């Protein structure tokens, strides 16, 4: 025990303060990440065995939800325990707990909206956990998928890949009075904003004109029986991102990844994939294994300071 204590004491200057290793195997609140212009809140799940240079998943809740509630509807935390990645669960309390995907601020890189607060969380996590900046991933359901689209458009320099469920194209709600079912112009959710790929791409590029042209790999899921965020929104997302990513439809794979689902492949399937779920309404259930495969999280190397000191 004395040897261990002396060893940990010797490691202390290298490991830094205890804040670098916050509570593990539990959802822990964080309040001191950079600028937070829209008063978002954040909880983080850190596994007891964290990978060296871990991946980070930003998981965005649905309307009416919270980060904590969303964490209970997915298996990301248990998968983090086995894979060693970190999961961030932000919350938005305004506009019926829906993410702002409508205002000019949030649809602009560093514009001071919800997207800016989320980007600052990502930057904080990269530093806090010594995360791999090339392994930052975004997912979410419904409003969370809408914001996933927005994050891919406004912060392509931070996000490596997206996989999200039952959302709309980035910019679909631009100029709407709000982003919730109670406050938004219903035309977007109803699937009535039909544009060409070039029109969608122009909206995306206007959100971050200084982008070098590199955008995240994108995967999106939608239920064919979705009458809340209507099914045509899947096609609009695929038009938007196929144009941005420079790929076109290649083929459909039926009953993939399960019966009743059709995988819609663009290009060679490494940049853009859609999933159409027959008979599924709002929202498509989270497919965590498919998400991790898309993100490229298969196995991680754990870092244990008692075994592998810095």
As a whole number of angstroms, the distance between CA 25 and CA 67 comes to 16
Catalytic one of 71, 115, 141, 142: 142
Note if 180 is an active site residue: no
As a whole number of angstroms, the distance between CA 306 and CA 287 comes to 35
Q: Phi and psi for 9 in degrees, rounded to 5?
A: -65, -40
Type and span of the H or E element at 143: helix 143-154
Diameter over CA atoms, the chain: 69
**Opening angle at CA 76, ends 122 and 60, nearest 5:** 50
Contact 97, 114 (CB under 8 A): no
**Opening angle at CA 70, ends 184 and 203, nearest 5:** 40
Q: How many CA atoms lie within 13 A of 6 on its CB side?
A: 3
CA 169 to chain centre: 14
Contact 307, 9 (CB under 8 A): no
As a whole number of angstroms, the distance between CA 283 and CA 40 comes to 24
The pair of three-digit structure tokens given for residue 49, joined into one six-digit string:
């065995």
86 in helix, strand or coil? Answer: strand
Reading phi first (left if > 0) and then psi (alpha if -120 to 50, else beta), residue 110 is in left
Catalytic residues: 142
């Amino acid at each position: 025990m004395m040897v261990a204590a002396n060893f940990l004491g010797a490691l202390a200057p290298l490991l830094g303060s205890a804040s670098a290793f916050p509570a593990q195997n539990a959802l822990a609140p964080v309040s001191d990440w950079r600028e937070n212009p829209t008063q978002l809140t954040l909880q983080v799940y850190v596994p007891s065995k964290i990978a060296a240079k871990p991946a980070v998943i930003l998981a965005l809740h649905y309307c009416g939800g919270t980060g904590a509630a969303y964490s209970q509807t997915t298996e990301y935390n248990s998968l983090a325990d086995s894979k060693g990645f970190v999961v961030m669960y932000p919350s938005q309390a305004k506009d019926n707990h829906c993410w702002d995907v409508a205002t000019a601020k949030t649809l602009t890189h560093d514009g001071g909206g919800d997207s800016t607060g989320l980007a600052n969380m990502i930057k904080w996590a990269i530093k806090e956990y010594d995360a791999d900046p090339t392994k930052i991933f975004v997912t979410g359901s419904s409003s969370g998928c809408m914001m996933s689209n927005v994050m891919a458009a406004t912060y392509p320099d931070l996000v490596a890949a997206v996989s999200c469920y039952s959302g709309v194209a980035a910019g679909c709600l631009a100029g709407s009075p709000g982003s919730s079912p109670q406050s938004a112009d219903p035309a977007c959710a109803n699937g009535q904003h039909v544009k060409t790929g070039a029109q969608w791409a122009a909206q995306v590029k206007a959100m971050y004109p200084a982008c070098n042209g590199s955008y995240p790999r994108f995967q999106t899921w939608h239920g064919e029986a979705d009458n809340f965020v209507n099914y045509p929104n899947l096609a609009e997302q695929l038009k938007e991102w196929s144009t941005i990513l420079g790929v076109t439809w290649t083929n459909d794979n039926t009953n993939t990844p399960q019966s009743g689902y059709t995988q819609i492949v663009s290009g060679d399937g490494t940049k853009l994939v859609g999933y159409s779920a027959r008979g599924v309404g709002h929202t498509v259930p989270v497919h965590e294994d498919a998400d991790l495969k898309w993100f490229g999280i298969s196995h991680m190397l754990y870092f244990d300071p008692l075994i592998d000191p810095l």
